[in-house]
A and B are shown apart, each in its own frame.
Chain A
Amino acid sequence: MPRIVVDVMLKPEILDPQGKAIAGALPRLGFTSFEAVRQGKRFELFVDGEVTDEILAQAREAAETLLSNPVIEDVVNVEVVAD
């Protein structure tokens, strides 16, 4: 079943407390090469059948209205993944 993947990230200027906590934990496991971490969200919208332009447009609209809050988040990626 084809999926539409939507990736949402906090805007760069918004502090990401969870990302900071993860960044603090990485060196404790020996991962010392990473300066910072930012955590985002990945949504997978499953489509029964072909992903038409109309369905993709709906996904983009859903991404901007429900899946993200434009005050604090950016939709950074919307793409179709065929299995």
Chain B
Amino acid sequence: MSTELPLIGDYSTPTTQLSGARIGVVTFPGTLDDRDAARAVRAAGAEAVSLWHADTDLQDVDAVVIPGGFSYGDYLRAGAISRFAPMMDKIVDAANSEAKLPVLGICNGFQILTESHLLPGSMIKNDHLKFLCRDQLLRVENNQTAWTNGYEAGQEITIVLKNQDGQYVADEKTLDMLEAENRVAFSYVGWNPNGSRRSIAGITNEAGNVVGLMPHPEHAIEAGFGPDHRGTDGLTFFTSVLTHLVGGKK
């Protein structure tokens, strides 16, 4: 199976100039998936910009991906030390600003976003205590966010899940609020792989510009390499944000 980049349709029509979109990918000590995330950004047709955790310059990026891995070895709590990185201060400010910088946190990136209080709740160890790596079926619960607008509501997708601290927890009030405000972005379908409350796999903030999830869309962007060796279900995250950036909300 051969694959050419970019994988999606031609965005270079006069009304949708996307060649200029620049998406930052943050690297912390212990980040693993920054290269894959950058590759996914390029596959979607945007320019990937490397951001270093200790820097304070966002380099005028249009969106940010906080990739997975084990930043600071998951010491203290997953994401707890990264949260205080100078780059995170900039990202938190930009996400909360009027411009509402789109931010996607994947796996350890999701944990960093909850530790930063950009998203509610937290992740604790999987209920079965094992590291788990599998092709995971998810349901898109909210397709109105910056990172999910290319999906159909209720669409089922398969992307990779791989973590040890993936059990999403929050108090009942917060869980009720997330469901009432349609802020559950993704749910696990079928078996709940880590004991997450209400089978929550990913959530969004109120404005829909910040999304975090445990599974890895950046590992499912190329035919021949994704789940079942064919899955490209994750690519829509990265094309969705481009649609969002040109104002093309669904």
Q: Are A18 and B121 in contact (CB under 8 A)?
A: no
* Cα-based distance from A21 to B129 in the complex (angstroms): 8
Interface size class of B (residues with CB under 8 A): 20 to 34
Q: Are B129 and A71 in contact (CB under 8 A)?
A: no
Given contacts A67-B76, A69-B77, A69-B122, contact A18 B129 (CB under 8 A): yes
A67 neighbours in B (Cβ, 8 Å) = 76
B250 to chain A, nearest CB (A): 32
CB contacts under 8 Å to B, within A1-25, are: 10, 13-15, 17-18, 21
The interface on chain A, measured as residues whose beta carbon lies within 8 A of the other chain's beta carbons, has a size of: 12
> 1/0 contact trace for A44-68 toward B, CB 8 Å?
0000000000000000000000110
A72 neighbours in B (Cβ, 8 Å) = 122, 124, 169
User: Pick the contact of A15 from B76, B77, B115, B195 — CB < 8 Å?
Assistant: B195
Given contacts A66-B80, A69-B77, A71-B121, contact A14 B169 (CB under 8 A): yes
Q: Are B84 and A66 in contact (CB under 8 A)?
A: yes
Chain B interface mostly: loop
B81 neighbours in A (Cβ, 8 Å) = 66
Chain A CB within 10 Å, residue with most, of B124, B170, B195: B124
* Cα-based distance from A21 to B120 in the complex (angstroms): 27
B126 neighbours in A (Cβ, 8 Å) = 17
* Cα-based distance from A18 to B167 in the complex (angstroms): 13
- Chain A's closest residue to B81 (CB) is A66
A66 neighbours in B (Cβ, 8 Å) = 76, 80-81, 84
* Cα-based distance from A13 to B77 in the complex (angstroms): 18
Q: Is B10 an interface residue (CB 8 A)?
A: no
* Cα-based distance from A21 to B128 in the complex (angstroms): 9
CB contacts under 8 Å to A, within B110-125, are: 114-115, 120-122, 124-125
Given contacts A66-B84, A71-B120, contact A17 B125 (CB under 8 A): yes
A25 to chain B, nearest CB (A): 12
A70 to chain B, nearest CB (A): 9
User: Pick the contact of A17 from B84, B121, B127, B170 — CB < 8 Å?
Assistant: B127
* Chain A interfacial positions (CB closer than 8 Å to B): 10, 13-15, 17-18, 21, 66-67, 69, 71-72
> Which 7 residue pairs across A and B have the least CB separation, nearest first?
A71-B122, A72-B122, A17-B125, A17-B129, A17-B127, A21-B129, A69-B77
* Chain B interfacial positions (CB closer than 8 Å to A): 76-77, 80-81, 84, 114-115, 120-122, 124-129, 167, 169-171, 195
The 16 sampled A-B contact pairs (Cβ below 8 Å) are A14-B169, A15-B124, A15-B167, A17-B125, A17-B128, A17-B195, A21-B129, A66-B81, A66-B84, A69-B80, A69-B115, A71-B114, A71-B120, A71-B122, A72-B122, A72-B169
For the complex with contacts A17-B127, A18-B125, A69-B80, 18 further pairs of A-B residues with Cβ separation under 8 Å are A13-B171, A15-B124, A15-B127, A15-B167, A15-B195, A17-B128, A17-B129, A17-B167, A18-B129, A21-B129, A66-B76, A66-B80, A66-B84, A69-B122, A71-B121, A71-B170, A72-B122, A72-B169
